[in-house]
Amino acid sequence: MASCVIPVPPFDMILFGATGDLAHRKIFPGLFHRFLVGQMPPEGRIIGAARSEFSAEQFRATLRKSLLEFAPSATKNKAKLDAFLALVEYVSVDAKGPRGWDKLADLMRPDVVRAFYLSVGPSLFAPIAEQLRMAKLTTPDARIVVEKPFGHDLASARALNAELGRCFGEDQIYRIDHYLGKETVQNVMALRFANALFEPLWNSQHIDHVQITVAEKLGVNGRGEYYDRSGAMRDMVQNHLMQLLCLTAMEPPSRFEPNAVRDEKLKVIRSLDPVQPGDFARGQYRGDGDQGSYTEHAKNPDSTTESFIAMKVEVSNWRWAGTPFYLRTGKRLRAHLSEIAIVFRDPPHSIFPDGEGRRSNALIIRLQPNEGITLRMTIKEPGPGGMRLTDVPLDMTFAEALGQNAESADAYERLVMDVLRGDQTLFMRGDEVEAAWEWADPIIKSWEDTGQKPALYDTGSSGPEDSLMLMHRDGRRWREIGS
Ligand code: NAP
């Protein structure tokens, strides 16, 4: 049954940071793509805002170039590209001073949805919100979108929530975690709550453990100095991996509605046990021939920041007690891969000879590459020679199974449309972010206090030896990265 797409109302999107990297690589291409597929109403306008002095015409010329580079469909649709650019205005504003705000106010229309997208460094989130409030641009259905990082720790996240809260209601604040915009991540909810098959098994009675891996092949080159102030725990675990854990572990919400979903995710975060010092492994990648090491990229030979982290996390509630979640993420690993692997318990009694080709059943949800789902099953190996068992994948790659319908919109594209529609389901609520920092802070503090240096690992490996040991000592092993 085809479902209807909720229309996008007439809007003014004010994109702060319009000259920046994220705006040009992701946000404008995403908006252009939605325009191409006809999801943008004719009354939609985008007002780029940044410090640089450009006329609207000059800005459109720059934007044309970057759309031709970052939105592949632009080259084939030049007329549409012109029509899209005609919707774009530009204003030069200083987030920290009075320049430009009057002009911005003049450009904005009274009776349309206002979406202020802050694609700027986090130190500008509060000043821009305050300028908007002072300029009286925050109408009741205005919304503000903020990029990660949302805080550096609990104290800074609380301060930021309070500062935004002075200018906008919680129902107007959209904190982006672009992982939640990924098609397959939303599919975790569809898989769990739209099928009767898995939910009866989705608990510690039937699931031995869960592995969540987000592995990157690239290092931190180019943004090493920024990354060195953050590290894998702050940059990836506290937000992206935490969201994946929440969607996997949460109770079914009563409805697919923003607060019902976010209430359940919050309960998961609040059920997390503190992570013990022996339950995590940190690493830094070594150099490899002409490729520099982490400390070279970070320009900090004494850096104690991790480019890799693996950890064992316990969710202390009735559903999950006794089923650990192992999280792992890092740079410069063997492959670029993100997946959630649900590893089931073995049958209580085996009638077949031990060790005959059997591996535990597992459901693997692949977020990238080749988005899809694999169910690892045991069957009889075909042919004569007695009852020999073998392990086979029931494999569904969305692109193959769903053809062009699987052509997935970029996560940003989807999230920006949700902002305009006023749907907060896929955005983090303030209390969720704070709870995640509340859990992460003591873990980070435990290694900051001791000045613990991460173990070194080879480029192209699966991370440091300690990470393997984290699993081995529990009688388990990681799935191969890139197998
Ligand atoms: P960027 O390339 O450094 O761009 C920063 C933008 O902020 C520029 O447009 C700049 O305008 C504007 N700006 C700086 N100071 C300003 C001021 N005082 N008043 C008004 N505008 C000012 O940064 P980015 O990479 O696009 O990142 C933007 C945000 O997204 C950051 O919070 C980042 O952490 C987050 N993020 C980025 C990525 C990514 O892939 N890039 C991914 C995830 C999250 P001028 O150029 O005119 O000075």
Q: What angle do CA 95, 101, 104 make, to 5 degrees?
A: 115
174 within 8 A of 143, measured Cβ to Cβ:
yes
DSSP assignment of 197-214 = TTGGG-STTTEEEEEEEE
Cα 403 to middle of ligand 1, angstroms: 36
Cα 147 to middle of ligand 1, angstroms: 10
- Report the share of the chain in percent with pLDDT over 90: 78
Q: What are phi and psi of 364, to 5 degrees?
A: -110, 120
Q: What is the pLDDT of residue 388?
A: 84
Residue 69, both tokens: 């580079």
Question: For ligand 1, is residue 17 a contact (CB within 6 Å)?
Answer: yes
Query: pLDDT grade, residue 405 (50/70/90)?
Result: low
Work out which ligand 1 atom sits closest to the CA atom of 121.
Answer: 32
Work out which ligand 1 atom sits closest to the CA atom of 18.
Answer: 9
Residue 277, both tokens: 């010092």
314 within 8 A of 339, measured Cβ to Cβ:
no
Tell me which residue has its CA closest to atom 12 in ligand 1.
Answer: 17
> Is the per-residue pLDDT at 2 higher than 60?
no
Which residue in this structure is represented by tokens 């004494």? 302
Q: What are the DSSP E strand ranges found in 19-66?
A: 45-50
Helix or strand or coil: residue 48? strand
CA 309 vs CA 102, 167, 231, 257, 446: distances in Å: 47, 37, 9, 33, 14
Cα 333 to middle of ligand 1, angstroms: 28
Work out which ligand 1 atom sits closest to the CA atom of 118.
Answer: 29
Q: What is the pLDDT of residue 354?
A: 61
Cα 428 to middle of ligand 1, angstroms: 21
Q: What is the pLDDT of residues 148-186, one digit of tens each?
A: 899 999 999 999 999 999 999 999 999 999 989 888 888
Tell me which residue has its CA closest to atom 46 in ligand 1.
Answer: 19
Helix or strand or coil: residue 351? coil
Question: For ligand 1, is residue 96 a contact (CB within 6 Å)?
Answer: yes
Give the residue-averaged pLDDT of 431-436: 98
Question: For ligand 1, is residue 460 a contact (CB within 6 Å)?
Answer: no
Cα 12 to middle of ligand 1, angstroms: 20
Query: Which residues lie below 8 Å from residue 440, measured CB to CB, with a gap of 6+?
Result: 153, 233, 234, 237, 238
Q: What is the pLDDT of residue 64?
A: 97
Q: What is the pLDDT of residue 387?
A: 82
Tell me which residue has its CA closest to atom 30 in ligand 1.
Answer: 119
Question: For ligand 1, is residue 15 a contact (CB within 6 Å)?
Answer: no
Question: For ligand 1, is residue 287 a contact (CB within 6 Å)?
Answer: no
Work out which ligand 1 atom sits closest to the CA atom of 149.
Answer: 34
Rounded Cα distance between 412 and 168, Å, is: 22
Query: pLDDT grade, residue 22 (50/70/90)?
Result: very high
Question: For ligand 1, is residue 235 a contact (CB within 6 Å)?
Answer: no
Higher-pLDDT residue of 5, 185: 185
Question: For ligand 1, is residue 19 a contact (CB within 6 Å)?
Answer: yes
> Is the per-residue pLDDT at 321 higher than 90?
yes
**Global confidence as pTM:** 0.94
Question: For ligand 1, is residue 94 a contact (CB within 6 Å)?
Answer: yes
**CB-based burial of residue 238 (10 Å sphere; 0-12 exposed, 13-18 middle, 19+ buried)?**
buried
Query: Could you give the residue numbers annotated as active site?
Result: 240
> Is the per-residue pLDDT at 278 higher than 80?
yes
Question: For ligand 1, is residue 314 a contact (CB within 6 Å)?
Answer: no
> Is the per-residue pLDDT at 4 higher than 70?
no
Q: Do the bridges between strand 362-368 and strand 455-457 make them parallel or antiparallel, or are there none, so unpaired?
A: unpaired
Rounded Cα distance between 381 and 389, Å, is: 5
Give the residue-averaged pLDDT of 293-297: 96
Q: What is the mean pLDDT of the chain?
A: 93
Q: What is the pLDDT of residue 53?
A: 96
Q: What is the pLDDT of residue 185?
A: 87
Q: What is the pLDDT of residues 324-380, one digit of tens each?
A: 999 999 999 999 999 999 999 998 888 887 666 678 999 999 998 888 899 999 988
Residue 388's CB: how many other CB atoms inside 10 A? Answer: 15
Q: What is the pLDDT of residues 32-76, one digit of tens each?
A: 999 999 999 989 999 999 999 999 999 999 999 999 999 988 888
Q: What is the pLDDT of residue 348?
A: 86
**CB-based burial of residue 158 (10 Å sphere; 0-12 exposed, 13-18 middle, 19+ buried)?**
middle
Work out which ligand 1 atom sits closest to the CA atom of 97.
Answer: 18
Question: For ligand 1, is residue 131 a contact (CB within 6 Å)?
Answer: no
Work out which ligand 1 atom sits closest to the CA atom of 16.
Answer: 21
